[in-house]
Every structure is written in C-alpha cells, then in structure tokens.
Structure 1
C-alpha cells in the first residue's frame, strides 16, 4: 500500500512538472521537433518514467534531471534564434530533392530516402507524378514541400486579375445551444439580431449545435437534429440577382423609348449598375 501511494504521489508530481516544463518550452515541443528536441523529449520522458515507478529511489534526483534537460532545451531554443549556424546544427538544414524538374539522386541517398518514399510524401500532397514537380525540398522537420510547374498549378483569382474580398475569421456565436456573447460582439451583432435570424430559419436555440457568423455577417447553423435541413444564406445572391434584373430593366427601357434624352439616361444608368455588378460579384457570389 505504501509503494502504491508513493507511485501515485510521484505520478501527480511528475505530471505537473512535465506539464510545467512543456508550457515553458512552448508549443514547438508538441508539434514538429528538431533532432535535439526529439532526443531531449525522449530523455525527459525516460527520466520521468524511472522516477515515477520508483526505480530511482530519490525522487528529487529525477526532478533535478528533468529541470536540467528542460533548461538546456530552452537555452538551445533561445540561442538558435540568434545564430543561423547554431540553428543549422541543432535543427538541421533543408535538402533539395527535386530541382528544375530533375530528381537529385545524391541528395536522396544522403538523407537515406528511396524514390518510393519520396513519391509517397508527394502523394500526401496530392502530387502523383514526379514530372509535375518543379521544386521539392525536405524540410528539417521531415516534411516535403513541393512547388508544381507553372502549367500544373491551379488558376487563382489573381491569375485572372479578379479582386476578391478579404476574409475574416468566422465567429462562433452559438455553441451547444448557448449564445457566446463575446463572439457575438466581435461579429458586430446583438442577441436581438440573432433571435431574428433564428426565427427566419424557423430554428430554436436549444436545437443548435454550432452557429457561426462569417465575414459577410451571415449566419450558418449546424443542428443536433441532422434530419432538419437548414437553408443556406441567400441575402447576397438575392441582392446580386436584383442588381442584374435592374440593369436588364434599364437596358429594356432604353430600347423601348423613342425619346433620345431618356434613351441616353437609361443607357448611362444601365452602365453604372453594370459597373457596380462587376465590382460586387466577388463579394455577392456564394
């Protein structure tokens, strides 16, 4: 019973200590590790395991070892921020695998990678043909970054000289049937607005699993009852359709009238509305 209690106490002590050390070292310790951080993490875990199970009779020796390794790791992180050469030693350097569409076999051998392993890493990025790749590099973290040849890259709005609206972070205003007031304020909305939107959709608050307001101020919902179909926001498409109808009506009026002054007025305003449609289409299209 005494041994079990000792292990229980040691477990809680080292759990708290490891949590504290990890918080100090930062999120990097739980993401992609460098060689040094990988070795340090294994060592800290091993020391903690030995100390918890009581193989190391003096618990404070284990605590001291973990603090030392944690301090050394933190010191290495600080020094690598200031020294590129030290950073290359501790974290490693990137290795080019494909350059100008050619696979560099020597670099593959140097990093002990086979062409099958390289192909597998590229397939994880939805790249299935080596001939499609212009440039690929093995990052120090062990991941592969790849740049497709220009003719194989997907078109973007920039390629088509299209201006797109800036996107803001969606605000989760309802979670588990409860209103999140802080997120609602960040979205520039009120509880009254939210109640009105829910009434429009014929949805009750307690049936909403999650509700978000996007950068256009539109509310999207996911309900507990998956059988209920919630209509998608339609304000923007309706506004775009109204503008197009207005422009078409002005064009028709210009064709129907015999008054040259009125004809010019209708044509002029039809062009103004069309210019507005061209500018607003990226914002109003779903």
Structure 2
C-alpha cells in the first residue's frame, strides 16, 4: 500500500513538473500534438501505477522522452512557419463579411450547431453582423464584428480616463496578503481605515479586497460574515 502511494506521488509530481516546463500556454490551450501528448502520458503513467511488477523507471523514461520530444517540437515550431503549419494546422475563416464559407466548415467538420453555439457564447445572435469568424488551430472561434457593430471606446468619444492599472489582491478569503499590502506602500493603519470605511470589523470577514494603481479599493464581504 505504501509503495503504491509513493509510486503514484512520484509519477504525479514528475508529470506536473514536465508540463510546467512546457510553458503556461500548453496548460490553457491544447494543440493537436499536445492533446496526443496528454493522452499518451496518461496511458503510460497508469501502467506503473497499477502494476507493481514494472520498475518505476520503466514508466518514467517514456514520459520523459515524450516531454523532451514535445519541447523540441515547440522550438521547431517557433523557428519554422512551415513546420508550425504542418504540426498545428492553420486558422480557417468560417464567416467572411457576414457570409458562411461552407467549404471551410466541411473541411474542418464544423457543424452549424457548433457555430451558432460559439457565436452565442460571444454574444452574437445575428450572423450578418460578423465581419470574420475564424476557427483557430486550438479549436477556439474568434469573432470579429463589423466596425459599425463594435461598441465605441473612450478614445472614440474623446474621453480621457485614468488608467487603473493592475489590481492587487490584499485580502483573499479572510487572509491578509501582507507582501501585497507592503508592496503597494500601505500599512496596517491604512488597512484598518479602509475596513472601517466599508463598515467591516475584521479581516476575517472580507472575502476579497483589491486595490489598483489609482488606489481604488474594491471590497467584498463574506456572505453571513457579520
């Protein structure tokens, strides 16, 4: 039992470390080659987890080989546009100037139901308002409306708005992140003042508190915190 526990932990940590070395993009998006890698690693890791007669190193070596191969392919895709197109494919324009390109849909086996679902998720209900809808190599649909359908920006309206910058989390589920508090140049006295301004007694009663670069504070209390 202990051996099974240790073998599982070692394989898990090894795979997580390998995936992390591949970069954050692979975690959030899967190209076809990355999907194959994930399936193969899952299959290779399952065998030494279940069969104690197989040496652990026998399971680690193929996984390490696949990770090294994937990293090598990633370097090649960065260096060669042609190789990237062969390995990852090319984006396909599904909608152009409000009209469907049925040939591209058939080529990518992309159904009308899938298209309408993706458009609804982007807040689009009228196909004629879409300038381009592009099926990306990771399967995501990028929707670009006509310029007349896009909401006006502050620049279009000649408005000069302050840049809020990146909000920093000061309190996360009742826990104070002191390094962020000090990093923004604040202290405990400032924090207490902000809590009183929002009629909150304790840090433990705050679910989320952030502050941006203009010192605008956003505070959300815990439900039933008082």
Matched-pair contact (CA < 8 Å) for 2:95–2:131: yes
Give the match for residue 209 of structure 1. 207
- Asked whether the equivalents of residues 167 and 215 of structure 1 are also in contact (C-alpha less than 8 Å), the reply is yes
Shift of 1:86: 1.0
1:225, CA displacement in angstroms?
5.0
Give deviations 1:179-234, integer Å, cap 9, x for gaps: 43322233332222222233344421243333222333133322235486xxxxxx
Name the TM-score, length of structure 2 as normaliser. Answer: 0.89
Greater alpha carbon shift after TM alignment, 187-196 vs 72-81: 187-196
2:47 aligned residue: 50
1:98 aligns with 2:95: yes
Deviating beyond 4 angstroms after TM superposition, the runs of 4 or more aligned structure 1 residues are 225-228
Q: Which runs of 5+ in 2 are unaligned?
A: none
Name which of structure 1's ranges 180-189 and 154-163 shifts more when overlaid on structure 2. 180-189
Q: Assess if the C-alpha contact under 8 Å between 2:4 and 2:52 holds in 1.
A: no
**RMSD after superposition:** 2.1
Q: How does 1:231-250 map to 2 (within 5 A)?
A: none
TM-score using structure 1 length: 0.72
Which has the higher Rg, Structure 1 or Structure 2? Answer: 1
Query: Which residue of structure 2 aligns with residue 22 of structure 1?
Result: 19
Residues 50 and 56 of structure 1 are in contact (CA less than 8 Å); yes or no, is this contact kept in structure 2?
no
SS at match of 1:50: helix
Closer, same or farther: CA 21–136 of 1 in aligned 2, 3 Å: same
Secondary structure at the aligned position of 1:146 is classed as: strand
- Counterpart for residue 111 of structure 2: 114
How many equivalent pairs are there?
225
Of the two structures, which has the highest relative contact order with CA contacts closer than 8 Å and spacing of 6 or more?
Answer: 2
The whole-number CA distance in structure 1 between the counterparts of 2:82 and 2:53 is: 38
Please report how far the alpha carbon of residue 94 of structure 1 lies from its aligned counterpart in structure 2 after TM superposition.
0.3
